[in-house]
Amino acid sequence: MIAELAAKFITLEGMEGAGKSTNLAYICEFFDRQSIKYRVTREPGGTEIAELIRELLLKHHDEAIYPMTELLLIFAARAQHLEAVIKPALANGEWLISDRFTDATYAYQGEGRQLGGDKVELLEKFVQQSLRPDLTIILDVPVELSAQRVRHRGELDRFETESSDFFQRVRDAYYQRAAADPNRYSVIDASRDLQTVQSDLHAVLDDFLDTKV
């Protein structure tokens, strides 16, 4: 029965190393068990052009990328992703699970880069109109643990070399957004062992299917 219900848009957020990729696999298993037709995507990225913008954003360059340039590139990638993937999938009855979406822009560009949430909000309305996720799961880890989990990966990308103050602002921004709209957001303490995190994740998804669908 659930598989026939209107498609929903679910986003997964959190700092690097919070376990988004690891837990995405768990979410897919959950939806497989429910026989829900879904598609997994990510931001920045999700289409050929948007993935090129992602590469540009993550790579180190000799020339600095200014915060406003970064913000506009992210929304350019998002505009492409929305038209090519998100809207068609939802219209086709496919649930969409995205590894990051606009909450990351509020957190990283709005607060991390200190551009302010008002600029993000303006572009969000312009690019997305009324489209917002139905459920946003924030995997929360302290800044130090996030850094520890990604440190072993070798070369760090352009975001991963930011200061701990930057990441603290990112974390705080996620918290504030979740607190302002508890109906849409679920915050999971992802510093605990994976089994405990996934048991919480299971409860959040069960609750979403029971009460919001």
Task: Kindly list the residues in this chain that would bind ligand Z5A in the complex (CB under 6 A).
Answer: 14, 16-22, 43-44, 74, 99-100, 104-105, 108-109, 149-150, 159-160, 190, 193-194, 197
Instruction: Give the bridge partners for 38, in sequence order.
Output: 95
Beta carbon of residue 4, minimum distance to ligand Z5A (angstroms, whole number) = 31
CB of 199 to ligand Z5A, least distance (A): 11
Token pair 């997305």: residue: 128
Q: Where are the alpha helices (DSSP H) in 64-193?
A: 67-81, 87-91, 102-105, 117-128, 143-151, 164-180
CB closer to ligand Z5A, 8 vs 20 = 20
Nearer to ligand Z5A, 36 or 103 (CB): 103
One DSSP character per residue, 36-89 reads --EEEEESS-SSHHHHHHHHHHHS--SSPPPHHHHHHHHHHHHHHHIIIIIHHH
Q: CB-wise, 21 or 69, nearer to ligand Z5A?
A: 21
**Residue closer to ligand Z5A, measured from CB, 95 or 102:** 102
Task: Write down the least CB distance from residue 101 to ligand Z5A, Å.
Answer: 6
3-class SS of residue 172: helix
Helix (H) or strand (E) holding 95: strand 95-99
Question: Residue 207 corresponds to which tokens in the numbers above?
Answer: 């609750």
Least separation in angstroms between residue 158's CB and ligand Z5A is 8
Nearer to ligand Z5A, 26 or 209 (CB): 26
In angstroms and rounded to an integer, the radius of gyration of the C-alpha atoms of the chain is 17
